[in-house]
Structure 1
Amino acid sequence: MRIELTRFRVNAGAQARVDEWMTFLNNHLAAVRETLEPEQMYVETIFSETSSGVDYLYWYSVQGTGGSLVEQSDHWLDAQHLEFWRDCIDDNYPPEDLTERVTMMPERVADAMVPLDSVPHSPKS
């Protein structure tokens, strides 16, 4: 399991587009969930911050290993995600990975974070 928190700088003037994208994601959570399993993404949360007049997005994720990359996806939502990324994320500002110091979660939660294909399924009656 990999846990990450990364800060990305938003392009100047792109905050309205960021707000539209966050609203879109919140309104299409079923489609978002369809994209998570192939990526082995167990938790993905996006935070925002404005500091000294500059907007940032933080991606927090808990991800398994061996998942597909968003760039390899043929899901319509991932295509829009990549378009959003090109429009809004400042490629001239390197992403900043925050350092994980400790992860605290109940063992049952950690044990539940496994690829879907390794979870035993109950036979349907």
Structure 2
Amino acid sequence: MSAERPASIPQGLVVELSRAKVKPGAEAEADRWMRMLNDRLDECVATLDSERMAIEIVFRLREDGAEYLYWVTVKGQDGAGLDTDRPIDRDHVEAALRVKEPGWVEAQPQVLMLPDPVREAVLAWALRGTEETAAAPPSDG
């Protein structure tokens, strides 16, 4: 796979698909972790500002007897990481350590397709305060 940035992804924008394997026997703990994120959604969303996270989606998949968590993120490259001084981030990290095997498998993005109103909103949020926000070309859709 090519590591070249697709033309459809503006400079400064990071588009990721990451996969982590759930530890054998930790499926119930994964249930609790995802329930905690859903139950504390307002706290989670409040962290997205400093992370420059425009989109964050978590998927879960059981395949060939193993269970995986997939993270889809679209964010500005200058966003902050998790801040364990915040209770939700601390609880999130602790749950991750209990549930997932260390490390991530990263997919290589190929194309980012966003209709213009969504593209404008994503770029305004993720790249705010950077030159790329104004200079980002519209998608050819």
Matched-pair identity in %: 31
Matches of 1:61 and 1:67, distance apart in 2: 12
The alpha carbon displacement at 1:18 in A equals 0.6
Q: 1:110 — aligned with what?
A: 119
SS for the counterpart of 1:63 is: strand
What is the total number of aligned residue pairs between the two structures? 115
Structure 2, unmatched stretches of 5+, are 1-12, 130-141
**Alpha-carbon displacement from aligned partner over 1:42-81 (angstroms, at most 9, x marks no partner):** 11000011111111000000111211111x4421100001
The alpha carbon displacement at 1:108 in A equals 2.1
Q: 1:35 — aligned with what?
A: 47
Matches of 2:78 and 2:36, distance apart in 1: 28
TM-score after normalising by structure 1: 0.84
**Alpha-carbon displacement from aligned partner over 1:26-57 (angstroms, at most 9, x marks no partner):** 11111111111111111100001111111100
Matches of 1:20 and 1:77, distance apart in 2: 14
Structure 1, unmatched stretches of 5+, are 119-125
Matches within 5 A, 1:1-125: 1-70=13-82, 72-91=83-102, 94-113=103-122, 114-115=124-125, 118=129
4+ long deviations beyond 6 Å: none
RMSD value over aligned CA atoms?
Answer: 1.6
